[in-house]
A and B are shown apart, each in its own frame.
Chain A
Amino acid sequence: MGTKRHFRVWRGDDSGGDLQDYQVEVNEGEVVLDIIHRLQATDAPDLACRWNCKAGKCGSCSMEINGMPKLGCMTRMSTFEENETVTVTPLRTFPIIRDLVTDVSFNYEKARETPAFAPPAGVAPGDYRMQQVDVERSQEFRKCIECFLCQNTCHVIRDHDENKHAFAGPRYFIRAAELDMHPLDTRTDRREYAQAEQGLGFCNITKCCTEVCPEHIKITDNGIIPMKERVVDRRYDPLVWLGSKIFRRGQVPQTFVTSAKHGDAVHSHVAHGGVHSHAGDSHDPAAEAEAQAGVNWHREVPRPTAPAVDDNGRLPLTELTFDRAAAPSPFGDDVTFPLPPEHLNFAHPEQDKH
Chain B
Amino acid sequence: MNDVLVIAGKPPRYDQARIPGLFLIAVVALLTACGGESKTTFDDLGVNRTAFNWYLPDSAPLPVEPEINPMTEAKFQLGRHLFYDRRLSGNGTQSCADCHQQSIGFTDGLAVSVGSTGELHPRNAQPLLNVAYNATLTWGNPSLRTLEQQILVPLFGEFPVEQGINDGNQEQILERLRDESRYQELFPDAFPEQGDPIDYNNIVFALASFVRGMVSFNSDFDRYERGDSSALSASAKRGRQLFFGEDMECFHCHGGYNFSDSTFDRTQTFIERPFHNTGLFNINGTGAFPENNRGVFEVTEDPSDMGKFRAPTLRNIALTAPYMHDGSMNSLEDVIEFYAAGGRNIESGPNAGDGRFNPFKDGFVTGFEVTNQEKADLIAFLNSLTDETYLANDRFSNPWSTP
A and B pair up: no
